[in-house]
Homo-oligomer: A and B are copies of this chain.
Amino acid sequence: MTTTSVTSRRLLPADPATRRIAERLYQLIADLPILSPHGHVDPGILATDRPFRDPATLLIRDDHYVTRLLHADGVDLASLAIGQGEISESEARRIWRIFCDRWHLFAGTASGYWLRSTLQDVFGVEQLPGDADPDALFDALSESLAAADMRPRALLERFDIEVLATTDDPLDTLEPHRILAADPGVRTVVRPTFRPDAYLDPTAAGWGDRVERLIDSVDQNGYEGYLEGLRASRRRFIEHGATSADFGVFTADTAEIDPSSAAALFDRARRGELSATEARAFRAHMLFESARMSTEDGLVMTIHAGVFRNHHTPTFTGYGPDRGHDIPVATTFVEPLRPLLQRFGTARGFHLILFTVDETTFSRELAPLAGFYPSVFIGAPWWFLDAPDSAARFRAATVETAGFYRGSGFIDDTRAFLSIPARHDMARRTDAGYLARLVVEERLSIGEAERIAVDLHSAIPRRAFKL
């Protein structure tokens, strides 16, 4: 990973004695290759390796963590060309100016940090949006983007990404993954991730059609065909390099329902006859069944729980999903996951990584669960919590109960390809700072801290995600 100078004090502790130790630890890990075992980069951009379009589309328009803060400042999503396909250069310049005028809104935010790092470390610009002339900056960035060394595969190499996982639909062809795997010039292992949410929730729009196509892909019918369709798709993902299956759920409810009752629910779901309660029960059952499949085929199970998706209906209706109004809610794991853990919690080889945006669960639930169940790993700070202060709180909330070795290791979980190095660098710097404090407080020896620093960014994610 070659990003910011390793001599920068960025994100390191203020106290000089602590900082010296943090710098020593950071230097050990600054250049480790990037492991990105969970994220949302479109594999198509890597397979085709076309140059990126203009900077406004790349950095603003298509990043809803950026557009949500512009929207909060009163900028209409329409004026940002959200959902409008390719835009003209003049349109892109207009959007770029809207953004530059509001650069101060991003001060202190994670998104602002990724943007700044991307501009400084990937593009090498000196003046930031708040100081630079917007048009001159747009021109400079556009020129950079046209160069061969800013093509997606060139960046993959430059970022030193050893593993990059994408997130994919069960019926996806995985053709980009095949192309990348077959190309000896691509040294990064690009792995698909099985993400079946839209097939497990009977209330999701299009569930019936999707399930029908899934069943059509195998020889069996009905509920058995549905389960076999999922299993077959998982096998196909594994053949293409997948090591994990991901589940985005509102609650972490799980339930064991006997096969004939489950089949009956499934049949009624296809006829649109489930009550809301029955639909919830079916979802909970399918999360349980997905754990069972993981114990059979070895895919790591990751759960991202506790988000109210598409909170503002007019925005969802007008612009579709992923527009910045998915809002976290209070979450609990202890009782909802219990049916699953009773059955599979100590199953050999089963890995269950739990992600949350409700920080209260870190010390209360996730660290205690991971401190007992060999299957449970604490997911890295996710999403809004993937930021320096939140990451520090995460360590302080989990390590005292579960240590360093029950976490998943850092994941970037991003669509924003260019921000990947900055995100991993942030995690390495904040980990170095946290470990340095423990050394200063005589809670770890420097030797222990060195081993842990390296493990956190190598052995730990390799083991948790079975890389």
Measured CB to CB, the residues of A under 8 A from B are: 8-18, 68-69, 71-74, 104-110, 112-113, 130, 308, 311-315, 324-330, 332, 334-335, 338, 341-342, 345-346, 348, 357-360, 363-365, 367-374, 376, 384-385, 387-390, 393, 396-397, 399-406, 437-438, 440-444, 448, 451-452
Contact = CB atoms under 8 A, between A and B. Distances in A.
Contacts of A330: 330, 332, 360, 364
A403 B360 contact: no
B334 A363 contact: no
A394 to B, nearest CB: 11
**A315, A341, A346, A363, most chain B CB atoms within 10 A:** A363
Contacts of A328: 334, 364-365, 368
Nearest to A444: B107
Contacts of A364: 328-330, 357-360
A273 B433 CA distance: 58
**A8, A313, A342, A389, most chain B CB atoms within 10 A:** A389
Nearest to A4: B442
A460 to B, nearest CB: 11
Contacts of A448: 104, 107, 130
Contacts of A329: 332, 334-335, 364-365
Contact of A341 (B106, B311, B393): B311
A402 B15 CA distance: 27
A392 to B, nearest CB: 9
Contacts of A332: 329-330
A376 B358 CA distance: 20
Contact of A441 (B12, B112, B369): B12
Given A312-B342, A358-B360, A390 B384 contact: no
Nearest to A449: B107
Contact of A404 (B107, B313, B341, B401): B107
Contacts of A404: 107-108
B402 A109 contact: yes
A399 B324 CA distance: 16
Contact of A372 (B10, B72, B107, B451): B72
Contacts of A363: 359, 384-385, 390
Contact of A109 (B326, B342, B403, B441): B403
